[in-house]
Amino acid sequence: MPRHADPEVERRVLDAAQSLWRGGGDKTLSMRALARAARTNTPAIYRRFKSRQGILRALLLRLRKELYEVVRTSASLEEGCERYLDFALARPQEYQLYHTHYHELLGPSPAAKKAEEFGPSFLWAQSKLAERVQGDDEQHLRLTLALWALAHGTAMLLISRSVPDHLQGELRSACTQAIASLVREGGGR
């Protein structure tokens, strides 16, 4: 008698992959551990994902969507920055996965414009910037890259614990204030 495919396996595999990654990053995400955590077997995983890279790609797509959902309802770039930092600090292993493997696994389609290469959260920031600052797409791209560099650099400094505990709030505040200043100045134009 043929086995019936479990429609929930893909979701369980991604939930398990996300949980394993949170627990220890790359070294914890073996196919055997993943099958055990997802309550399935490795052949069932391979029927849905061609490889471990396929699982990571699906996980990155999920993370990209989750990050976008976090920032998209922000009223301002400054609020978006705070939410971005909250996301990174609440999920440091996933945040590092996202930024370490993004272009390797989710690289742009050949028809993608420059900004589209960075995903929907970046496009959201660029459109918010365009609402507040005069200029063309190229100027908005450059300024959005600068704002992202500030937010990402701040997130990585906080995640790596390179900043003493008593200065972490000050660093976050300085990042948000720098973003506000750059936006107010319109990128020095």
- CATH number for position 33: 1.10.10.60
Q: Give residue 161's domain range.
A: 60-188
Q: What is the mean pLDDT of the chain?
A: 86
Domain-located, residue 55: no
Please check the confidence at residue 109 and state whether its pLDDT lies above 90: no
76-100: per-residue pLDDT in tens? 999 999 999 999 999 998 888 888 8
What's the total number of domains in the chain?
2
Q: Evaluate if residue 103 carries a pLDDT over 80.
A: no
Tell the residue number behind the tokens 């019936």, with chain if given. 4
Do 183 and 127 fall within a single domain? yes
Q: In whole angstroms, what is the distance from residue 170 CA to residue 187 CA?
A: 23
- 98 contacts 92 by C-beta, under 8 angstroms: no
Q: How confident is the model at residue 1 (pLDDT cuts 50, 70, 90)?
A: very low
pLDDT reading at 189 higher than 60: no
Residues 89 and 144 grouped into a single domain: yes
In this structure, the answer to whether residues 67 and 150 fall within a common structural domain is yes
133-179 pLDDT, tens digit each? 888 878 888 999 999 999 999 999 999 999 999 999 999 999 999 99
| Residues 14 and 72 both lie in one domain | no
Rounded Cα distance between 147 and 180, Å, is: 9
